[in-house]
Amino acid sequence: MRQVLRIMTVSKTPGLRFLDATEKLFPDAIRRRFEDIQQNNDIVQSLSAFQKYGSDQIPMTPTAGRVNQQRGGGFFSGVLTALTGVAVVLLVYHWSSRESEHDLLVHKAVAKWTAEEVILWLEQLGPWASLYRDRFLSERVNGRLLLTLTEEEFSRAPYTIENSSHRRAILMELERVKALGVKPPQNLWEYKAVNPGRSLFLLYALKSSPRLGLLYLYLFDYTDTFLPFIHTICPHEDDLGEDIISKLLDLREPTWKQWREFLVKYSFLPYQLIAEFAWDWLEVHYWTSRFLIVNAMLLSVLELFSFWRIWSRSELKTVPQRMWSHFWKVSTQGLFVAMFWPLIPQFVCNCLFYWALYFNPIINIDLVVKEVRRLETQVL
């Protein structure tokens, strides 16, 4: 009891100074009450947790406050600073080493591809495509020649692609190239170059409202985005072991088993779907995929804390109202951004994109630590 009073009186407010005066005027009553409290272990633990929380929040003196602040947050602040430095270095690396978005093959007509660009397109189909790299180079296959090749020519010399699955994969991708006139996007940066607005929208939608974001993909971007997504995170039994590009090219309708697995994760662990999708891209986007996976884990923890607060406060009846408010908020923000999108500078969009990609995980680490401390105080 005295410990609690000592913590409370440091704020020097009139009400709390009154408690200090009460302790001096009625020492016997305070002593008896203190002895009763000491016999109750639950109350003792709660008071200890309250004292710890008060010590972290309110410095006893200016000097002690600085010491306490350094002791409580020095290590964690150092970790956040280090992670921020890594994110900045990674961001500078991408800006300096990655070619301009306008120079990507997704913006260059296939008929104008050089022999080296054809090899780049071929190698992005999967690790197996490297088997045929030298054959394409020896024939100096450029974009115009590529458009004329047929399955029969691929199966005989000088290409000699004997594996029928490899031939089908090359021909299927070649048909997409012919239909689009350019290379379809096959990684994050190419997708962002082709769809800057949609990539920014999906990045924030999957972060703040993953269920609505995935529902949007199902309703409005089923063939190009949703089908590759579900085939990647919930692959068919026949597709196990296939590379990521082969899964992206799979446009078959999902089986009931795939839908069942997807709906379970969609309902209870939506961020796990994003983490699994990023996991399959580790070889393509080494550090970026890891940032996405960590962020998905942190967002899952924060969502669990939100549900715990609702449950502990007996506010389950407010869930439908909260869901509707959230839906209305997200829809309004999306509509607002869509209306003013043509007026937003590209530099601002890139800053928002990279902020959500690399800096949000660092912010979420801080939020998770605060939730853990708050939960520790409430439980004790």
| Residue count of the chain | 380
Cα of first residue to Cα of last residue in the chain, in angstroms, is 16
Instruction: Determine the distance from the C-alpha atom of residue 278 to the mean position of all C-alpha atoms in its chain, rounded to a whole number.
Output: 9
Of residues 223, 194, 190, the one with CA closest to residue 124: 190
> DSSP state, 235?
-
As separate numbers, helices (DSSP H) first and strands (DSSP E) second, the chain gives: 21, 0
CA distance 27 to 32: 9
Residue 139 tokens read as: 């024939």
User: How high is the mean pLDDT in each 10-residue block of the chain (380 residues)?
Assistant: 47 50 67 70 65 55 43 56 68 58 77 91 84 90 91 88 87 87 84 86 86 91 87 75 61 87 92 91 86 92 90 86 87 83 83 86 88 73
**What pLDDT score was predicted for residue 8?**
46
pLDDT for 118: 92
For residue 130 the two structure tokens come to 């490297």
What are the Cα distances from residue 41, in Å, to 35, 46, 241, 380?
A: 12, 9, 56, 11
8: its two tokens: 């409370």
- Give the chain's mean pLDDT: 78
Residue 241 has what pLDDT?
57
- At 236 the three-state DSSP class reads coil
Maximum Cα–Cα distance for the chain, whole Å?
Answer: 103
Amino acid at 57: Q
Give the Cβ contact number of residue 340 at 10 Å. 9
Q: With residue 79 as reference, give the H or E element that holds it.
A: helix 62-97
Nearest residue to 33 (alpha-carbon basis) of 5, 54, 55: 5
Token pair of 363 as six digits: 């912010």
Could you count the other beta carbons within 10 Å of the beta carbon of residue 60?
A: 14
What are 215-245's pLDDT values in tens digits? 989 998 898 889 888 988 888 776 555 666 6
Q: Report the distance separating Cα 207 and Cα 245, nearest Å.
A: 24
pLDDT value for 295: 93
Q: Note whether 265 and 272 are within 8 A (CB).
A: yes
